[in-house]
């Protein structure tokens, strides 16, 4: 009598699912550096999204809409990937402050923010078309600026030239000297990508973070 062939059971062995490609949908060098801290391999793809605010759109709504639009735009080109989109809008008394680009506009922004509390809304969205995952969240950071003299503003801008930063100041650099206080529950949000929230969304999308 022949003995039937038995196939070993795999019930006790871990079946590993290959991790999806992760793409950062951003041209920001700051976000690229921040995401690299997680030790998750990723690529960078520039999203083609019009960042103009809609009529009557609040700074918070603008940041949320653009983060999701950027993630969706890149995910459309890479449907198998997990795509991260992010946007930050500075909010001065309900008015959005974008990247100044020029020295004169940066001077104006810092003059307007002198002695004021500015909210920096940093939104992040994660999208994977093939799995149907779509999630987003936002971290708002309250930044109190000192009373700044024209000379302080001019000296700071000449030294750091933060013309690609919303709000015309780099808190991770010399810009910290312009501030009286920072109130945030996600330390990297002010730089442009709230990593605590980003980690949560990536886990929900099925991406393993090495330390998790």
Residues known to be catalytic: 87
Q: 162: which residues sit within 8 A by CB, 6+ positions away?
A: 100, 106, 168, 169, 170, 173, 175
Burial class (CB in 10 A: 0-12, 13-18, 19+), 13: exposed
Do residues 89 and 63 make contact, with C-beta atoms less than 8 angstroms apart?
yes
Do residues 189 and 198 make contact, with C-beta atoms less than 8 angstroms apart?
no
Q: Which residues pair with 82 in a beta bridge?
A: 22
Euclidean distance between CA atoms 167 and 92, whole angstroms = 9
The single residue listed with the structure tokens 């994977």 is 128
- Pairing state between β 43-44 and 22-25: parallel
């Amino acid at each position: 009598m022949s003995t039937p062939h038995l196939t070993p059971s795999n019930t006790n062995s871990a079946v590993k699912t290959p991790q999806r490609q992760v793409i950062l949908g951003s041209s920001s060098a700051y976000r690229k550096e921040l995401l690299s801290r997680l030790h998750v391999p990723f690529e960078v793809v520039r999203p083609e999204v019009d960042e103009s605010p809609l009529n009557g759109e609040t700074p918070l709504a603008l940041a949320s809409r653009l983060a999701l639009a950027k993630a969706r735009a890149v995910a459309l080109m890479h449907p198998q990937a997990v795509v991260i989109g992010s946007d930050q809008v500075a909010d001065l008394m309900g008015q959005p402050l974008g990247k100044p680009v020029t020295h004169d506009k940066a001077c104006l922004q810092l003059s307007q923010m002198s002695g004021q509390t500015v909210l920096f809304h940093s939104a992040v969205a994660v999208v994977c078309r093939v799995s149907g995952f779509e999630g987003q969240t936002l971290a708002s950071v309250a930044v109190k600026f000192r009373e700044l003299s024209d000379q302080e503003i001019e000296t700071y801008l000449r030294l750091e030239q933060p013309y690609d930063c919303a709000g015309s100041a780099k808190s991770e650099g010399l810009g910290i000297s312009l501030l009286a206080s920072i109130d945030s529950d996600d330390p990297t949000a002010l730089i442009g990508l709230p990593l605590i929230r980003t980690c949560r969304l990536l886990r929900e999308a099925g991406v393993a973070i090495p330390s998790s």
